[in-house]
Amino acid sequence: MEGRIALVTGAAGGIGGAVVRALAEDGMAVAAVDRDAEGLFTTVRKLTADGLVVEAFPADITDRAEVDRVVGEVEERLGPLDHLVNTAGVLRLGEARRLSADDWDTTFAVNATGVFAMSQAVVNRMVPRRRGTVVTVASNAAGTARRHMAAYAASKAAATMFTKCLGLEVAEYGIRCNLVAPGSTDTPMLTSMWHDESGPRGTLDGKPEEYRVGIPLRKLARPDDIADAVVFLLSDRAAHITLHSLTVDGGATLGV
């Protein structure tokens, strides 16, 4: 994928950072987008020190005007976008009947509306060029009910179906839209759910009292595992794949 240009949201996060590195190592110029400016510039400095072509574009993807601005800036500085990867995400835990309005609104603003705004802004530029690919990093929770994760699961389900519907509508322009659905991945988002030393074991073994099975492969995913799936779906090796969700969870949802 030498010479192509990609935009990655959530680039300061564990999965987002891994995706940025993987794409840059594949020869792409990468626009790294995140609202955490400090974390973003730290990530980009490390990558550019390794000789990779990555530029930082701080932006809040929940702000539509900000999204339009940053997409225009990316294309002005780097050139026409070939790829978009939506990895930005937040997690607010709590019982469905006790979630605050802020928990719900913030989760959807980033995980669903952010995907909508960024995808629309980028794809509308891809359509006249009749080429491009989009990958949204969703979650295996989008199709499997989880206790205390109603807002997160619902927002990821919304992002999943939006991405598939978008892909159906723009297929005639040669644009492919797919998803990667990670399970438990070794990132700060996952470890924030662990409250004591039993956390990692519970993730691997499962928790019957939570109606949750463990991970058949007996290991957590690494951010690089998710990045590898993203790279594949963006690549020409996936040229006839669209509207697809690739689950990367070590078997945690039992293939459903």
> What local confidence, expressed as pLDDT, does residue 214 receive?
94
Tell me the domains of the chain and their CATH numbers.
5-183+223-246 (3.40.50.720), 187-220 (no CATH)
What confidence score (pLDDT) does residue 193 get? 73
The number of residues in the chain equals: 256
How many angstroms separate the CA atoms of 8 and 69, rounded? 15
**CB atoms < 10 A from the CB of 165, how many?**
12
The pLDDT assigned to 189 comes to 84
For tokens 């990895």, the residue is 87
> What pLDDT does 53 receive?
98
Q: In the chain, which residues have pLDDT < 70?
A: 195, 197-198
Residues designated catalytic:
152
Non-local (6+) Cβ contacts of 202 within 8 A are none
What is this structure's pTM? 0.95
Q: How far apart are CA 247 and CA 256, in angstroms?
A: 9
Q: What is the pLDDT of residue 191?
A: 75
CA dihedral 8, 146, 104, 242 (to 10 degrees): 40
What is the reported pLDDT for 154?
A: 98
**What integer pLDDT is reported at residue 161 of this predicted model?**
98
Question: Residue 160 burial (CB < 10 Å; 0-12/13-18/19+)?
Answer: buried
